[in-house]
Every structure is written in C-alpha cells, then in structure tokens.
C-alpha cells in the first residue's frame, strides 16, 4: 500500500521540527488527510512551546545565589593549590630524572645531607642557648 493512502502519524514527530518539510508521498498524504495535518499542527505547537520553555526560569531557593558565589570564590582559591594528580606527576617526573642522571641524584643526596646536618646543629645550639638562659634565671 503506498504511503499516501496510509496515515503517517509515526513520521510526524520528526517532520514537525523546523527546517524539515514533509516530502513526496508524505506530503501527498497530508494534502488529503485532515487528521494527519491536524496532528502535525499539534507537534509543531508542542515544539514551539518547548523552545519557549527555555526562557522560563525556575525560581531558585533563597540563598542559592550567595551559596553559588561562595562556590565561585572557593573555586578561585582552590585553583591556585596544586592538585594531587599534579604533585604525583611532578614526583614521577623527578624520580625519572634522578634515575636517568646519577649526578643529579648525588647532588640531591648531598643537599639532603646538608639540610639534616644543619637542622641537627640548629637543634643543639637552641638547647644550649635555652639551658644557659634557664641557668641565668636561676642564679639571678
């Protein structure tokens, strides 16, 4: 049976989109079928109502804007803190460089050793200074 003599209801939800026009046998059928033409009108009306819905804004709850602005501020602060993924990437890269260049490893080990030594000296110095201060206080 040719399309023109059958109802074309199933094709209409797509044809109703703007820019799409019924063609060939579908158009032929619509020209002679009031029911399908009316149904096409219903879909077009539905689609234009759906488009219009975009401009209709749902009223947000009280305090929503303030909360969202706080989120925006938080986003700007946290964006300056390196993420864990970034730190992991840097650490992996550093490990790879050390593995490839032993001299860089020796340099880093020397720096680490110097830092540990400096910390130990500072601690001893601080304890002696503290002991002297306590002795002075007791004597006076």
Partner 1 sequence: MVSPELLAACRRGDRRAFEELVRLSHRRVYSLAYRLVGDRSDAGDVAQEAYLRMYRGLAGFREEARFETWMYRIVMNCAMTVLKKRGRFGLLVSDQELDVPVPDRAAERAVDRDELERALALLPEGQRVAVLLKDVYGLSVREISEELGIEEGAVKVRLHRARKRLAESLSTGDDRAGEL
Which residues contact residue 27 at a Cβ distance below 8 angstroms, ignoring those fewer than 6 apart?
21
The interface with partner 1 within residues 22-41 (CB under 8 A) comprises 38-39, 41
Q: What is the DSSP letter of 33?
A: -
The interface region with partner 1, picked from 8-16, 88-96, 116-124, 127-135 by CB under 8 A, is 8-16
Q: x/- site string to partner 1, residues 59 to 78, per CB under 8 A?
A: -xx--xx-xxx-xxxxxx--
Compute the distance between CA of residue 16 and CA of residue 14 in angstroms, rounded to an integer: 5
Residue (1 or 38) nearer to partner 1, CB = 38
28: tokens are: 């032929």
- Residue written as tokens 């401009």? 55
Residues lying near partner 1 in the complex (CB under 8 A): 13-14, 16, 38-39, 41-43, 45-47, 49-54, 56-58, 60-61, 64-65, 67-69, 71-76, 79
């Amino acid at each position: 049976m040719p399309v023109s003599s059958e109802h074309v209801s199933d094709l209409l939800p797509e044809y109703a989109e703007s820019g799409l026009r019924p063609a060939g046998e579908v158009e032929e059928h619509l020209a002679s079928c009031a029911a399908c033409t009316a149904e096409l009108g219903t879909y077009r009306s539905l689609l234009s109502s759906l488009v219009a819905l975009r401009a209709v804004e749902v009223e947000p709850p009280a305090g929503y804007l303030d909360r969202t602005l706080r989120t925006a501020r938080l986003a700007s602060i946290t964006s300056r803190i390196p993420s864990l993924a970034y730190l992991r990437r840097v650490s992996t890269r550093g490990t790879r460089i050390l593995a490839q260049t032993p001299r860089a490893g020796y340099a880093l080990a020397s720096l680490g050793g110097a830092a540990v030594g400096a910390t130990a000296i500072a601690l001893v110095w601080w304890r002696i200074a503290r002991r002297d201060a306590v002795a002075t206080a007791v004597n006076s």
